[in-house]
Structure 1
Amino acid sequence: MMSQTKLRGDILGGITAGVVALPLALAFGEASGLGPIAGVWGAIILGFLAAAIGGTPTLISGPTGPILIVIAGLVAARPDQPAVVASVVILAGILQTVFGFLRLGKYINLVPYSVVAGFMSGIGLIVIVLQLIPLIGQEAPRGGTLATLTALPSAVEQINAYALGLGVLTFAVATFWPKSLSKFFPAALAALLVGTVASLLVSGALPRLDEIPTGFPDLVLPSLDMSDAIFIVQSALVLAALGSIDTLVTSLIADRMTQTRHQSNKELVGQGIGNAVCGLFGAMPGSGTTTPTVVNIRSGGATRLSGMVHALFLLAVVFLLAPLAAQIPLAVLAGLLVRIGLNIIDLDYLRNALRGPRWDLSVMVLVVGLTVFVDLITAVGVGVVLSALGFVKRLADAQIANFESGKLAALDAEEQAILKDANGRILLFDFAGPLSFGAAADLVHIVRRRSKREVRAIVLDFSRKFFADRSAVQAIQTIVSESAAQGIEVFFAGASPDLTELLAKMEADIHVDAEHRDLSRREALARASKLASVGRAARLKI
């Protein structure tokens, strides 16, 4: 049974998170093209179902910046087809649920941080760019980032100074609101109220939100037109993948704050069901939201009840305060979204980027560019591939350095003495852990280069749990055959039964004498020492 302390914490955390989420939901809904009430209903529906079903007890879910970019693109592409947009959202929710049942959550968490930082920063830039024209009091064009940048010069010529002033005021309040007051009155809500109240004192005309309906949303049936099938499937995959990544990144933040561990697959199921229901009612889908989640935890939220309280609070607001929301100027929402866009950009990563690997920085910059000017899935796909290649390269370099060193420090005194007495006529190569395909080819070149000297024997040491794949076995086979062609004896030391069987199956040991296999490292070095002392073997094994 829940203690009274936890119950109070969940109620306070949920209400406080709801206060923070309200202006964000209004702003995201309006910017998406679905309307401000669609953003609030998305926060209600997804917020409640994800909290009730999901696997992160303190997570607050609702519309977010990454989801905004996808939905705004959908609405721009199908401006008069709500059924198509609903179909995409419903299918994306179903896909997220399938991801959860297939236990893919752990793989989504494997996306490199440089890629996450890149596409999140790109999304932040897109959010900012899309708000530049509403910020100066003009109607935002359809067509996304490029359309906005193209229309910006002409829009600046018709700037509404009053709208720009309100947007700047809202941005300033959201940015410089004292942290001591944020505990009692969140910065986003303060900025929204200050900007709206200030707009009532302005005599000039200002674009404002339309009248917001207070009833329950109508059911939106999905499109059954097969001509839209490819567009719906492709868009749903993008939305599902992005929502899943965004949610699980936020879940990791919640884990660090609460010292717990979320259930990623269960969270994907909760998010998927919530987003599918959002699509059925024309609400804006979403994912885990960082700021409301942090506020919830800091205000005492500890269980899934806090997320459900957040949703119920927003439901009450819809029926009680919706008429007042119609007075909010679009420039005020734009100023708030510009602040949110800056928050999305991973400035900490950028500040520290020069201290880390330059490859990771290059990947991050490329992902930002692809996110802004191409699309999110291309950005993530290219980023993951390049990050993987960079990791393999660094791993290969480390493995090659290990092979070249011979790991003499790991040898006992007798083994070191044997190598010292051999004076370069015996080569020892230490195979430890997995040998990446990136290192396999380089290893052959190293052995080939070092074997040009007066080498009599090569000892391949597999005693430290070596794991071999096709590339690694091919490298060993090449080393053995080239050494045999030069009259150099090869010894296998410390090979496990499984590795011995694999080498035999792939004929990587056909040039290795039977008495040179199944040896300990010391035995292999001792036998190699005898060969080194009598001179190079005369017979060639071809």
Structure 2
Amino acid sequence: MKPKILRMLQRKDLTKEQIVKDIIAGIIVAIIALPLSIALGISSGVSPEKGLITAIIAGFFISFLGGSRVQIGGPTGAFVVIVYGIIQNYGLEGLILATIMAGIILVIMGFLKLGSVIKFVPHPITVGFTSGIAITLLSTQIKDLLGLKINNVPAEFFEKWQSYLTNIHSFNLSTFLVGLGSLLIIVLWPRINKTIPGSLIALIIATLAVKFLNLPVETIGSRFGEISSSLPAPKLEIVDLNTIKELFKPAMTIAILAAIESLLSAVVADGMIGGKHDSNMELVAQGVANITSGLFGGIPATGAIARTAANVKNNGRSPIAGMVHAVTLLLIMIVLMPLAKLIPMTSLAAILIVVSYNMGEWSTFKSLLKAPKSDVTVLITTFLLTVIFDLVVAIEIGMIFAMCLFMKRVADTTKIKGMINEIRNLEDNDSSLNLDNIDDMVLVYEINGPFFFGIVHKFMDVMNEIKPSAEVLVLDMKNANALDASAIDALERLYHRCENYKIKLLLANIQPQPKKVLQKMGFLNLIGKNSIFDSKEDALEASLNIATNKPLNGQTAIA
């Protein structure tokens, strides 16, 4: 586990030409991140400079220590609803502590090498909660877009909309027109210039319009007053164990979302540059970034897909771009932050409405509705739970649904099949043997697919149909590549049942994983080595020998 910047230095991958490109890319990304960081900070329920502090501190460490060449970190839209809810319940001090705790959890996850575990989160779940967060983020911007006079907007989705409808009489036309104009500029500006972000142009035009036309529109200054333009000194409050216990769930929520979003962003970046990130080092970097962000009074941070993509498109190819982005934001904050108080709140709302639309994977969401019903169920459930409740509930229940439906699909593919005329089809059968009733005496079954707890009931239903008059039961396990404790319990029950009916149980073609488990749990010793065969043919010859009680090809019958 090494930060990507160290690996690149050791391999001498950094050239002067690339460093220049990275510096330019970092400056461009900083310009893009400036309005976003301010808007995300305010929408999260904190003062605007805290969004910038997060982008500066966390953004630097995510690039400096990260496992991706091009990842850009900072506050993201996915955290807005979560952070707002934490502040409502626990205050700013609670949020800071939860952010630091989340950072510690992420560092532990990285050192435990849990980065690869994230890949087991099904695609419908990530699309479901991402789209759900997009809807909830959009809903948080309605107040500022319409200029509604509401002192405390509820955190819950339906209560929030009820509050909007109740206070719709306070609608401010000037505020709405400025917000609508900002929205149109953001959407249409890329047709004119793709280098300078439309959000920055919208902020400048809207700010000038409100200032010189003296429009009755709420600004950052009218809401927050004077804004600090310097980094605060790091500090850590002394907390008791009960507070830590109370904040563990919010901290885990932040950690899970940060892990998923940052690694998804890194995967997207890999596809764009043809590289490969170190997921465990990335988690460590995300953890350190959130710890330091919390110490400086910032909010949670993670890898930002849009800013990372902008970095790649502007030829950023090393972590230097991300570090330059953080330093540039620091310089902007020191020089220009006092002017930020003139920015209209409705323009920031317009920026985040575009962010919410872009983060919602709507085309993917639509295509997934054509997927199998199980995937559609997981998608819709995760989406609705994210909107109605929160991310943790959505992921927990979504994962439970996904796992149950996956196990059902696997169980449906596993077949317990009885084989007919297997003995009669043996080559070199002794023609003198009486095989009239041999199919009733020797029963052959194949297990095709994983043999686990989800298939045990089907297995036992088939085995319960075995007649006591049989002499031998052969289980061919050639296609049973996996076996668990429930399957062994079923085999033990079958063995004792066969023992009661004086039926000889033989196993054939035991694969490596099942053989190892059967050995460790003592089943092979229980059944005996003379009941285990490397091939089905050997087991069938032994079965014929037992059923006819005569030697076959010079062998002694198994008693």
TM-score over 0.5 (shorter chain): yes
Q: Which residue of 1 aligns with 2:114?
A: 104
CA distance, structure 2, for counterparts of residue 343 and residue 417 of structure 1: 71
**TM-fit CA distance, 1:205:** 0.6
Q: Distance in 2 between matches of 1:239 and 1:37?
A: 21
Where does 1:113-192 land on structure 2 (aligned, <5 Å)? Answer: 113-139=123-149, 141-146=152-157, 147-178=159-190, 181-182=193-194, 184-192=195-203
1:448-527 paired onto structure 2 within 5 Å? 448-449=464-465, 451=466, 457-464=472-479, 466-483=481-498, 489-495=504-510, 503=518, 515-527=530-542
CA contact (8 A) 1:489 1:512 kept: no
Residue 12 in structure 1 maps to residue 28 in structure 2: no
Aligned to 2:204: 193
In 2 relative to 1, CA 499–133 (structure 1 residues): closer, same or farther, beyond 3 Å? closer
2:451 aligned with 1:435, yes or no?
A: yes
Pick one of 202, 212, 216 that aligns with 1:205: 216
Measure how far apart 1:162 and its partner are.
1.5
**What are the within-5 Å matches in structure 2 for residues 333-344 of structure 1?**
333-344=348-359
Cα shift at 1:525: 2.9
Shift, 1:494, TM fit: 2.2
The offset of 1:438, in angstroms, is: 0.7
- Equivalent residue runs for 1:350-369 within 5 Å: 350-369=365-384
In structure 2, the residue matched to 1:330 is 345
Is the CA contact (8 Å cut-off) linking 2:229 and 2:333 kept in structure 1?
Answer: yes
CA 1:480–1:331: 2 relative to 1, 3 Å: same
The yes-or-no answer on 1:95 pairing with 2:105 is: yes
DSSP-derived class of the 1:460 partner: strand
Tell me how far apart the structure 2 counterparts of residues 274 and 136 of structure 1 sit (CA, whole Å).
Answer: 35
Whole-Å separation in 1 of the counterparts to 2:185 and 2:49: 24
- Equivalent in the alignment of 1:393: 408
Alignment partners' CA distance in 2, 1:266 and 1:501: 34
For 1:90 and 1:72, locate their aligned partners in 2 and report how far apart those are by CA, in whole Å. 17
Deviating more after overlay: 244-253 vs 135-144 = 135-144
Query: Aligned ranges for residues 42-81 of structure 1 at < 5 Å?
Result: 42-79=54-91
Cα separation, 2, equivalents of 1:369 and 1:297: 33
CA contact (8 A) 1:87 1:223 kept: no
- Which residue type is aligned with residue 21 of structure 1? A
Contact 2:483 2:513 in 1 (8 A): no
Aligned length: 525
Identity of aligned residues (%): 28
Deviation sequence 1:327-351 (CA, Å, 0-9, x none): 2111111111112112222213321
Instruction: Tell me what 1:258 maps to.
Output: 273
1:133 and 1:148 in contact (8 A); partners too? no
Instruction: Tell me, yes or no, if the aligned pair for 1:83 and 1:221 is still in contact at 8 Å.
Output: no
| C-alpha contact 1:195 1:332 (8 A) present in aligned 2 | yes
Distance, in Å, in 1 between the alignment partners of 2:201 and 2:426 is: 73
Decide which of 283, 289, 295 is 1:274's aligned counterpart: 289
How many Å separate the matches in 2 of 1:407 and 1:134?
74
Contact map agreement 2:37 2:55 (CA 8 A) in 1? yes
2:417 corresponds, among 384, 399, 404, to 404
| Offset, 1:491 | 2.4
Distance 2:519 2:413 in 1: 28
* C-alpha distance 4-528 of structure 1, shift in aligned 2 (>3 A): same
Equivalent-residue separation in structure 2 for 1:377 and 1:283 (angstroms): 22
Give the secondary structure class of the aligned counterpart of 1:461: strand
Distance in 1 between residues matched to 2:427 and 2:411, nearest whole Å: 26
Find out whether 1:222 has 2:232 as its counterpart.
no
Q: Please say which of residues 6-15 and 221-230 is displaced more in the overlay.
A: 221-230
Distance 1:177 1:423 in 2: 79
Change (3 A) 1:495 1:139: same
Alignment partner of 1:356: what SS? coil
Aligned-partner SS, 2:330: helix
Q: State the partner residue of 2:317.
A: 302
Query: Would you say 1:320 and 2:364 are equivalent positions?
Result: no
Q: Shift of residue 429 of structure 1?
A: 3.6
Using structure 2 for the length normalisation, give the TM-score.
Answer: 0.84
SS at match of 1:58: coil
Give the match's secondary structure for 2:505: strand
Deviations 1:188-223 (A, max 9, x none): 334433443444465431011124322222444325
Residue pair 1:246, 1:287 contacting (<8 A) in 2 also: yes
Give TM-score scaled by structure 1 length. Answer: 0.86
- Deviation, 1:29, is 0.7
CA distance in structure 1 between the partners assigned to 2:354 and 2:256 by the alignment: 25
Inter-partner Cα distance in structure 1 for 2:53 and 2:341: 16
Aligned 8 A contact 2:418 2:443 in 1:
no
Q: Mean Cα displacement is larger for which, 452-461 or 371-380?
A: 452-461
Range with bigger deviation, 470-479 or 265-274: 470-479
Amino acid at match of 1:62: G
What displacement does 1:487 show?
6.3
2-structure distance, mates of 1:44, 1:135? 27
Pair 1:142–1:108, CA change in 2 (3 A): same
Deviation at 1:31, TM superposition (A): 0.8
Aligned with residue 38 of structure 1, among 41, 47, 50: 50
Larger mean Cα displacement after TM superposition, 88-97 or 388-397: 88-97
SS for the counterpart of 2:393 is: helix
CA RMSD, 1 decimal: 3.4
Deviations 1:344-383 (A, max 9, x none): 2221332112321212221222222222222222221111
Alpha-carbon spacing, 1:91–1:516, altered in 2? closer, same or farther (3 Å): closer
Any conservation in 1 of the 2:59–2:73 contact (CA below 8 Å)?
Answer: yes
- Structure 1 position 455, deviation (Å): 7.1
Amino acid of the structure 2 residue aligned with 1:193: I
